[in-house]
Amino acid sequence: MIDDRRLDVLRAIVTDYVSSREPVGSKALVERHHMKVSPATVRNDMAALEEEGYLTHPHTSAGRIPTDKGYRLFVDRIAQVKPLSGAERRAISTFLDGAIDLDDIVSRTVRLLAMITHQVALVQYPAVSSVRVRHVELVTLAPQTIMVILITSAGSIHQRSLQVPEHSADDLTVLRERINSAVDAQTTPAAAATLRALDRCALPAITDDVVVAIGDMLAADEAPRIAVGGVPNLSRFGAEFDTTVKPMLEALEEQVILLKLLGAAATDLPGDVAVRIGRENPYEPLKTTSVVASNYGPSDSPAQLGIVGPTRMDYPSTMATVRAVARYVGQFLAEG
């Protein structure tokens, strides 16, 4: 167990190091944080924290910096994630307002997270199992050409033009009504199965072509996808290029790695927000980074969003932002 005074010293060192990027010394710590003990006492506390693995000192510097273990204790002892201000909440709501479909929602969300946290933002698309078919529309473009439009509950709009046999307006109306009555409000996997089993005896000749097209559009949503934003923010960490930035840039090319990062953090949920620090991450080249993540969307099939950045980050503010954005996106999708 760590006593309260040493915990205060650790908190102060984390705060100063995140701000200054420089090792923190005892004298500066006492002066900046108005500690009611002498620098000698703080030095003793720092030595004890270092012995217990919470701090380390680079090179021959007298100053200390936090270790992964130190950051973990700092995060675990945050009594309460600070709420965002009214202005910050309004800014999030305004930024998401007016999104027209799922791609737009995800794009706005990833830009918003990157802009507020100054880190690299990751947003996983909602799981297919939670997405339902909202409507299928069939529109004649030419005597032998139609447009098939699929709209889902997540706001995705898929469309495809098809060359089909000649058909009447009544054919299109009958098929549209039959398909919508069969798949309305079904999850996309269930809708695909329903369409495959559809009795086509009394349906127009264009039915097979339309069903195949809708099945292809439903299948396009099945592969897990993730959006990335804020990569230019890595330019702020020039001194850490070889150890942190270069591995992150390489990892950002691999969707599987990013999904694995968010998925690993998600095992710490369903709390408000999860934090994986340094070597707690599953991907070896990213052992110098931290991931802050939260769930959003339906509780039975949530997706994840979050940020990844150097372990030296403003955890309280980042955790508050990730939590708030996840809540707003979840509400936005539910209301849509």
Q: 159: domain CATH number?
A: 3.30.390.60
CA 65 – CA 70 distance, rounded (Å) = 9
The tokens describing 250, both together, are 């390489």
In a domain, 304, yes or no: yes
In a domain, 81, yes or no: no
Phi/psi for 274 (5° steps) reads -115, 145
Residues 314 and 325 in one domain: yes
At 39-87, the pLDDT tens digits run 899 999 999 999 999 999 887 667 899 999 999 999 988 766 677 778 8
In a domain, 14, yes or no: yes
CA-based R_g, the chain, Å: 26
In a domain, 203, yes or no: yes
Residues 113 and 43 in one domain: no
Residues 231 and 323 in one domain: yes
The model carries a pTM of: 0.74
Residues 58 and 21 in one domain: yes
- The answer on pLDDT for 273 being more than 70 is yes
In a domain, 23, yes or no: yes
At 127-153, the pLDDT tens digits run 666 678 889 999 999 888 999 999 887
CB-based contact 113:229 (threshold 8 Å): yes
Residues 246 and 326 in one domain: yes
Q: What is the mean pLDDT of the chain?
A: 85
**DSSP helix/strand/coil, 155:** coil
Residues 278 and 205 in one domain: no
- What CATH number is associated with residue 249? 3.30.450.40
Q: Which residue has the tokens 């695909």?
A: 192
Residues 236 and 111 in one domain: yes
**pLDDT computed for residue 240 by the predictor:** 67
Domain boundary (220, 242, 272) is at 220
At 303-325, the pLDDT tens digits run 889 999 889 999 999 999 999 99
CA 125 – CA 313 distance, rounded (Å) = 25
**Domain residue limits at 191:** 129-220
Domain boundary (165, 199, 220) is at 220
Residues with Cβ within 8 Å of residue 147, at least 6 apart in sequence: 137, 138, 139, 141, 159, 160, 161, 162
CB-based contact 180:165 (threshold 8 Å): no
- What CATH number is associated with residue 25? 1.10.10.10
Domain boundary (177, 196, 220) is at 220
CB-based contact 177:160 (threshold 8 Å): no
The tokens describing 249, both together, are 């840039």
Residues 247 and 205 in one domain: no
The arrangement of strands across the sheet holding 226-229 comes to 226-229, 120-124, 303-310, 289-296, 274-277
In a domain, 49, yes or no: yes
Residues 109 and 52 in one domain: no
Residues 249 and 214 in one domain: no
| Count of structural domains, the chain | 3
CB-based contact 169:199 (threshold 8 Å): no
In a domain, 266, yes or no: yes
CA 71 – CA 66 distance, rounded (Å) = 6
CA 65 – CA 83 distance, rounded (Å) = 27
Q: How far is CA 125 from CA 23, 105, 122, 159, 299, in A?
A: 39, 10, 10, 19, 15
Residues 136 and 208 in one domain: yes
Phi/psi for 245 (5° steps) reads -70, -45
In a domain, 17, yes or no: yes
Most confident of 170-179, 280-289, 301-310: 170-179
Top pLDDT among 253 and 193 is at 193
Determine if residue 302 is left, alpha or beta; phi over 0 gives left, psi from -120 to 50 gives alpha, anything else beta: beta
- The answer on pLDDT for 269 being more than 80 is no
Closest CA to 310 of 254, 242, 225, 227: 242
Residues 97 and 149 in one domain: no
